[in-house]
Structure 1
């Protein structure tokens, strides 16, 4: 992180203010203030990790994954009852991303659901959205199949099966 002296002073002062506003985390904020003020490059890099960064393509991928699950639910709802019985509704549920391995993606999903209020039909409280295993590769395979479908919101039972099995 390259910052001018002015930027470092401003950020250091902000950490000082946070220390006063949050006495229970004052030591952590004081440490960060000292690191920024003194310009300790190694520790600044560690602080920078806390800011996170998701590029445009990754954000779009997460949005597409949520859209895919929305399309699966709509398509399943449009099936006749006999076909609906072949796939449990619970299999269509969005499981989220692994908090231990895909935290940035999980945080973005929570932002989209709770802050932006997107995809309310998914009905997934953020605190319940955490897969035990990494899901990104699975979702990428599902997206690849979904994108090949000519009617993405009117999927057949076979298309739904193929996407879920990806």
Structure 2
């Protein structure tokens, strides 16, 4: 989180909000935060922002949506196939993201599925979104192959599905 600075007016407003919160939630103790704000203890302002995160890097949200759309397309297309032989169905499923190295993608994907109720078909087994290894390079190669087909809302053929999955396995 970036260093926080507050003007006198902002401190006054925040102090009043903390007093209101204390009144509305008597079981919660806001006195330390109130004292930090009232006394202008700038070196402790980070304590006021615990639980707040920097916004995701530009492009993370659209990329997560595109990846989900690709996996939705793969899922619907596989379901429509009468012959699924030669299709590695496990590799055609969304697995999640690496929480350590792809944390912004991880958090946004989890938010979309768990809180917004979107892309439920992509919910990982047992709700475990952490792959424990970076998957973005794989997803990006698959995404490039999917986009090259230009069939965003159409069902994919078996060969197209296999090509997309194979693109994810290529090493660059």
Sort the TM-score into its range (normalised by shorter chain).
0.7 to 0.9
Q: Which runs of 5+ in 1 are unaligned?
A: none
**2:107 counterpart residue number:** 107
Q: Is the helix fraction higher in 1 or 2?
A: 1
The equivalent position to 1:66 in structure 2, one of 65, 68, 82, is: 68
Structure 1 CA distance for aligned equivalents of residues 34 and 86 of structure 2 = 55
Structure 1 CA distance for aligned equivalents of residues 162 and 141 of structure 2 = 13
**2:8 counterpart residue number:** 5
Structure 2 CA distance for aligned equivalents of residues 144 and 158 of structure 1 = 16
Aligned CA distance change for structure 1 residues 134 and 32 (closer, same or farther; 3 Å): farther
Structure 1 CA distance for aligned equivalents of residues 145 and 12 of structure 2 = 51
Task: Note if contact 1:52-1:104 (Cα within 8 Å) is conserved in structure 2.
Answer: no
Aligned length: 159
Structure 1 CA distance for aligned equivalents of residues 115 and 89 of structure 2 = 26
Aligned CA distance change for structure 1 residues 158 and 116 (closer, same or farther; 3 Å): same
Deviations 1:92-126 (A, max 9, x none): 21011111222221111111011111112224368
Task: Note if contact 2:18-2:34 (Cα within 8 Å) is conserved in structure 1.
Answer: yes
Aligned CA distance change for structure 1 residues 161 and 30 (closer, same or farther; 3 Å): farther
Larger radius of gyration: 2
In the alignment, does 2:54 pair up with 1:52?
A: yes
Structure 2 CA distance for aligned equivalents of residues 162 and 72 of structure 1 = 11
